[in-house]
Structure formats: C-alpha cells, structure tokens
Structure 1
Amino acid sequence: MSQPRTYPSEAVELPLRLDAEPGPVPDCAGCTELANVRDRARAGGDMTTVSDCNVFLRRHPEGH
C-alpha cells in the first residue's frame, strides 16, 4: 500500500486565451443583435453575458 501524500501536488497551468472576440457577420440580424447585447452587457459590467454572447456568435445556428 502506498503512503498518502502530505503535500499539495504541482500547480496546473491553464492556457491563457487571448482570442479576439467574434464579430457579427455583415447583413445578419441575429449576429448584429448578439453584438448589441454584448456591448450593453459590457457597459453594465455583466461579463457573464458578454461571454455567453461570444459563444453564441461563434456557434451561430446559421453556420456563418
């Protein structure tokens, strides 16, 4: 049987994502609205909604 560790394991280093935010596709009302919601959320300090809008823009249902 092995001895239990009495010290913490090494730190896990996660990658820092510096991807640019996705932009709206020209002439797409859905993309434009998501970008507007993102801008309003950022102005209000709601970074969760900003992140959600970025995900929705990347995974737009029309597959731009």
Structure 2
Amino acid sequence: VTRRNIDKAATLRMMLEDKKDKEEEIKFLTKKKDKVEAKVFSILDTAEEIGDEILATRPKYKKK
C-alpha cells in the first residue's frame, strides 16, 4: 500500500461523506419545500373561499 493509495482512499472517503451530507440536506430541504407548498395552497384556498363569500354577499348592482 503506497502513500498515494492511502491519500486516494482518504479523498474518496471524504467525497462520499460530502455526498451523504448533501443527500441529507436535499431530503431536509425537500421536506421543508413540501410544507411551504402545503401552506401556500392552504392560504390560496382560504383566499378563494373569502372571495366567494364576498361575491355572494355583495349587493347586486343593476345596469342602467
């Protein structure tokens, strides 16, 4: 086993650990994104319901 092979192995091990860290970060951010999307759609649904209520309770104006 040469010094060069040991260095290569250490480099590969570090790259593998970096890859695992990045994969964990991607999973975390994906979960976060999904939660944010759910909140946004919930807000949009609420806004639509409020809009529908406003339209339903607004007095009807007759055209002259």
TM-score by length of 2: 0.28
**Which has more radius of gyration?**
2
